[in-house]
Amino acid sequence: MTSPALPALPDWRAVADGALEATVVGSFTKLGLSARRAMGPWEDLDAVSLAERTVLITGATSGLGLAAAHRIARMGASLRIVGRNPEKTIAARDALRVESGNPDVEHYIADLADLAQVRDLAAAVLVRERRLDALVHNAGALLATRTFSPQGHELSYASMVLGPALLTDLLLPLLTETAAPDADPSRPARVILVSSGGMYTQRLDVDDPESEHGYRGSVAYAKAKRAQVVLAEEWGERWRDRGIVVHAMHPGWAATPGVHASLPTFEKVMGPLLRSADEGADTIVWLVASDEPAASTGRFWHDRKPRSPYHVPRTRETPGDRERLEANVDAAIAPFRLPSVG
């Protein structure tokens, strides 16, 4: 008589990774990334070529965006960077060309918080580019005082929710055209939203998304990042049949100019445990380049693994909340859609 088969034991790496994730500090700092690399397997992105792929990154003149841009340029992509400041953006473009040895790096100027500039940016991209394999939304703002976009929207919400929503909407034809001729399922067009671990602290706020009541910069930032994660899930489902995958990610706690300017106390306390910008950008680059994330859509990633977007039950939104978010975003961006997009 044979004994019943015992259930398979969970892989030790998955157990160790889950335990690390539960600690938060251990997961989000450079310790977490080092541990996960050591546990393996860890894909060598230096062996991956992005030749013949076009990648556009917003907020690419400093911090995570610039770090991702350097890596992607070295991998041979046709790289397009977006920045607000012309001098700074052109300097970043020139440095990327020289340091990567890749001459195919171009730039666009736009403030993602200004929907009129986003519309003009998309129009320029549609004229100049023949394909768009990956769109990385990295631009953002964390401000001490409540500040407004030219259209009257709170700036964090405008730059990290409305701007990305409009730009993605306007570039859908190019993303779809890029994906459609390619029968290889590992090569869909990709939309990546760079979120933050801070979003774990906030529930989706559809009653006060622009922080009209009791403004705190860090809370407004986290609320916008939560909205990004929800939108990634919704867009992933909406555009699945177009050959487009959508993912959100968070980079952990990284030492960037944004953190230095906006969260000096946090930077001082965490000190040497903060990740470098290159370490924080690792999963951005992996989501752009690897085959694995191309096989799914609408997920939330950290250190190359899909993660739950909820650490505590109170932050879960309802289906009605999701519908209201999409309706509110669509209403805000509708006046800026290009006539040909409709």
Q: Which residues are catalytic?
A: 221
Q: How would you class 168 by CB atoms within 10 Å of its CB: exposed for 0-12, middle for 13-18, buried for 19 or more?
A: buried
205 secondary structure, DSSP code: -
d(CA 322, CA 341): 24
With vertex at residue 148, the alpha carbon angle to CA 146 and CA 149, rounded to the nearest 5 degrees, is 150
333 CB neighbour count, 10 Å cutoff: 23
Residue 41 one-letter amino acid: P
Q: What is the strand order of the sheet 299-302 is part of?
A: 105-109, 78-83, 54-58, 134-137, 189-194, 244-249, 299-302, 305-306
d(CA 23, CA 165): 33
**Cα dihedral sign, 217-220-222-224:** negative
**Cis omega before residue 41 (within 30°)?**
yes
